[in-house]
Structure 1
Amino acid sequence: MVLNTSKILEIGDWLIQQALAEKPLEPMLEGLANKLNHVGVPIDRCRMTWSTLHPLFEAETVLWTSGRGIETKRFVHQEEESQEYLRSPIKYMLDHDLDFLRGRLDVTGALAFDLFEELRADGFTDLINLRTNMFMGRSVLPLRADDLGLYVTWATRAPGGFHDTVVETLKQLQRYMSLVCKLGIYPRLITSVADTYLGPTIAREVLGGRIRLGSGSQVRALVWLSDLRNSTGLAEDLSEDCYLTLLNDYFDCTGRAAMEAGGEILAFIGDAVLAIFPIQDGKLTQDAAIRKGIAAARTARGARRTVNARRREAGDVEFDFGVAMCVGEVRLGNIGIRQRLSFSVIGPSVNEAERIEKETKRLGVPVLATSEVVDVAAAHWRRVGSFTLRGTHHETELFGLLADDTRSWA
């Protein structure tokens, strides 16, 4: 079999152009498969898999199959490696430090891997597995022991499988694909890490170039703040492991509730959770933001009851927390020194939420809010009174969120 070398080089150039144009990897893979078929390389299935940096997922994959199109999948972190992974070609390649593995599927008898058996049953005749390390020791993202690199598989249904010339061509294209994917994956990894540690709003600010001291932006939002009760006493009375477990249970109740309601966590301040529900024209009205914040508070309090029941049954210490809400302008900006910055949230509304939360403990009301919040759904609230918050010279009217039965606090 003879392939047109100039056409293969054109495909390599096309891959570089895709990378420079920052094209998504999914359509790039589909376009590559179509181009290879057009020049006589019989591709019926191709897959790219790579390791990622994400708190929930350890790897991502893009699969193209003739007649089915593109599929994407993320693999969640697992405490133990799955049997599927342990019996996979990539695990074998990692264990034996291989960058190439071929599986002839048009043979009789048992095959080496479950994947080979599945593909043979689906009519495939040959499978090429290629792997390339993308991040080395000098990289900002150094090679990890569990790093897949770029793992690419090519499969065909052609009688007799891949010609040796095709195999060599796919090996040559692997270098192009590794470079393209490295350029495409880097932004994903950076965004994933930035979102994880900064939150999407601040991540966009930082990655968008606001990295000088004093730079930032202002946004109107529902400010949502929660703080753990008696954290100092708990930290003193419990072992480090037990306190950390309690702290994460608390964060799971509050932080998860805020995020799943559509809010964004700006910071974990010690044992407090600071979140906002940004009010944006055309995206989220003030009333909608407030309703989401109220829903988050209810969910958090409900989760606390469920988690405390589990902890009580296990003989663990229970916990409690307060939630405060108000509406106002917040400023997202860089503070610190020029060489070391922190992108923080500041403003009177943040200070007000912090002071209101302190009142939840003093007044024995778990969820407190200002009149601007309450006006959206007044039936769910009861007036507690007017109080001079710490550090202020005026009274603030506060309302407590009622439980669904409206007879007790939420």
Structure 2
Amino acid sequence: MQLPSALSFLIDEAIDLSEGDVFLTTLAERLIADGVPLIGAMLTQAAPHPVIERRAWLWRSDTGKVIEALGFGPPMAESGHGEMAVEWLNGLGAGAVRIDQVGSLPDAAQLGWATSRSLDDGELALLADVARFAATPLALLAARSALSGLLTAYLGRRSAGQVLDGRLRRGPGQTITAAVIFADLRGFTELSETGAANEVITALDAWFDRIAGAVHAFGGEVLKFIGDGVLAIFPIGERNAAAACDAALRAVSAACAGMEHLNRTRATQDLPLLSFGAALHLGDMLWGNIGTADRLDFTAIGPAVNLVSRLEGLCRPLGRTVLLSGAFAAETTQPLVPLGEHKLRGIAVPCQVFTLP
């Protein structure tokens, strides 16, 4: 006896998929080929992530496309996301809607189906089998998604991609050219000595939210949190040097605005104001694994990283929040103010330094 197409897919092919949208689209198309009158489908899964609680993929037969929805609250059973999913399926003009939980755990995946008519016993039995046979491939899909999400949260998108691709050993790494930002919170040592622990952590998180959030918003990536400092890059490749530098400068400007707003709030709470210094440079760096044989760090090292960290150290003596190297200034379209050449500690050639008007 030949298996229905949907079950054959779940047994033979679905185990190799790594994307929820591909899984749902293929499964829905196979069910239609088996005679189930689908007009819409839904897949939801828990998402181990610092912000996202659950991911949902929604498929429509009239377009054949999937949209993804992210849940930022508690799991579906606690927040009403399940009811919203049923409402979305009903909104397609369904003759019947069915929701199946895949597995027995409270945060198990769910499959939802909207059909143009009520289903007969054979079709209902097929959907029940689909929920049962989908347990293994969806568990693997969830594990891959969790691994990717956790690595991205701790390493950043680009570094996580390298690790997921199997770059797990020390080696020569990869040379990349990027606009680089090094930013450092001022007075953090004093704040740590005089403030309560929870106030210090809250201040540090608020600072990182402003600077790292701005970096991500403009397409950059945070490589490292170094104490109260941040090392971020805007790689050249998908965009040219001028676009990367402009994006990095806009990110720093956005962080400045965010910190001004934060300080207005802290002033009303009688909390000390927070200031920072940021340096921007354009150059080459070596990007890859360093560390011991069994404890690695995926990071960037090299002349560009050395220079930008030394340049940031000039922010306080020059009385500036933002400093830019000559290499960076040569690529950006923003108006700048020259501050002359300065000798940087450990850097042989003096650096031309610029700042914002």
TM-score of the superposed pair, with normalisation by structure 1: 0.78
AA aligned to 1:130 is D
Asked if residue 189 in structure 1 is aligned to residue 146 in structure 2, the reply is yes
Q: Which residue of 1 aligns with 2:97?
A: 127
Q: Cα offset for 1:368? A: 0.9
Q: Cα offset for 1:246? A: 1.1
Q: Which residue of 1 aligns with 2:2?
A: 6
Name the CA shift for 1:291/1:378 in 2 (closer, same or farther; >3 Å).
Answer: closer
Tell me how far apart the structure 1 counterparts of residues 13 and 246 of structure 2 sit (CA, whole Å).
43
Q: Which residue of 2 aligns with 1:320?
A: 275
Q: Cα offset for 1:377? A: 4.4
Q: Which residue of 1 aligns with 2:317?
A: 362
Q: Is the 8 A contact 2:48 2:150 kept in 1?
A: yes
**Paired residues, number:** 357
Tell me how far apart the structure 1 counterparts of residues 94 and 333 of structure 2 sit (CA, whole Å).
64
Tell me which of 25, 28, 35 is aligned to 2:30: 35
AA aligned to 2:288 is G
Asked if residue 346 in structure 1 is aligned to residue 301 in structure 2, the reply is yes
Tell me how far apart the structure 2 counterparts of residues 116 and 171 of structure 1 sit (CA, whole Å).
18
Q: Which residue of 2 aligns with 1:58?
A: 53
Q: Is the 8 A contact 1:261 1:296 kept in 2?
A: yes
Tell me how far apart the structure 1 counterparts of residues 185 and 305 of structure 2 sit (CA, whole Å).
17
Q: Cα offset for 1:367? A: 0.8
Name the CA shift for 1:71/1:391 in 2 (closer, same or farther; >3 Å).
Answer: same
Q: Cα offset for 1:24? A: 4.3
Tell me how far apart the structure 2 counterparts of residues 35 and 365 of structure 1 sit (CA, whole Å).
62
Unaligned runs of 5+ in 1: 91-112, 135-142, 403-410
AA aligned to 1:233 is E
Q: Is the 8 A contact 2:223 2:233 kept in 1?
A: yes
Q: Which residue of 1 aligns with 2:127?
A: 170
Name the CA shift for 1:361/1:11 in 2 (closer, same or farther; >3 Å).
Answer: same
Q: Is the 8 A contact 1:133 1:148 kept in 2?
A: no
Unaligned runs of 5+ in 2: none
Tell me how far apart the structure 2 counterparts of residues 24 and 238 of structure 1 sit (CA, whole Å).
45
Tell me how far apart the structure 1 counterparts of residues 107 and 31 of structure 2 sit (CA, whole Å).
25
* Cα offsets for 1:362-387 (capped at 9, x unmatched): 21111111111122347622222322
What RMSD over aligned residues (CA atoms) do the two structures have, in Å? Answer: 2.8
Q: Cα offset for 1:15? A: 2.9
The SS at the match of 1:210 is coil
Q: Is the 8 A contact 1:46 1:65 kept in 2?
A: yes
AA aligned to 1:6 is Q
Name the CA shift for 1:114/1:189 in 2 (closer, same or farther; >3 Å).
Answer: closer
Q: Cα offset for 1:74? A: 2.7
* Cα offsets for 1:194-226 (capped at 9, x unmatched): 222111221122222221123421111111110
Q: Which residue of 2 aligns with 1:330?
A: 285
Tell me how far apart the structure 1 counterparts of residues 349 and 26 of structure 2 sit (CA, whole Å).
65
Tell me which of 44, 58, 62 is aligned to 2:39: 44
Tell me how far apart the structure 2 counterparts of residues 259 and 343 of structure 1 sit (CA, whole Å).
19
Tell me which of 212, 215, 237 is aligned to 1:255: 212
Asked if residue 237 in structure 1 is aligned to residue 194 in structure 2, the reply is yes
Name the CA shift for 1:376/1:218 in 2 (closer, same or farther; >3 Å).
Answer: closer
Tell me how far apart the structure 2 counterparts of residues 304 and 120 of structure 1 sit (CA, whole Å).
45
Q: How does 1:65-214 map to 2 (within 5 A)?
A: 65-78=60-73, 86-87=79-80, 124-133=94-103, 148-158=107-117, 161-214=118-171
Asked if residue 22 in structure 1 is aligned to residue 17 in structure 2, the reply is yes
* Cα offsets for 1:72-91 (capped at 9, x unmatched): 2333323x789x95456x5x
Name the CA shift for 1:268/1:170 in 2 (closer, same or farther; >3 Å).
Answer: same
Q: Is the 8 A contact 1:48 1:151 kept in 2?
A: yes
Q: Is the 8 A contact 1:383 1:399 kept in 2?
A: yes
Q: Is the 8 A contact 2:288 2:298 kept in 1?
A: yes
Asked if residue 267 in structure 1 is aligned to residue 221 in structure 2, the reply is no
Q: Cα offset for 1:46? A: 2.5
Q: Which residue of 1 aligns with 2:329?
A: 374
User: Percent of pairs identical after alignment?
Assistant: 29
Q: Which residue of 2 aligns with 1:138?
A: none
AA aligned to 1:372 is A
Q: Cα offset for 1:23? A: 7.0
* Cα offsets for 1:293-340 (capped at 9, x unmatched): 221222211221111112212322210000111121111122221111
TM-score of the superposed pair, with normalisation by structure 2: 0.89
Name the CA shift for 1:132/1:364 in 2 (closer, same or farther; >3 Å).
Answer: same
Q: Cα offset for 1:347? A: 0.8
User: Computing the radius of gyration over CA atoms, which structure comes out larger, 1 or 2?
Assistant: 1
Q: Cα offset for 1:353? A: 0.9
Q: Choose 233-242 or 10-19, whichever is displaced more.
A: 10-19
Tell me how far apart the structure 2 counterparts of residues 188 and 369 of structure 1 sit (CA, whole Å).
38
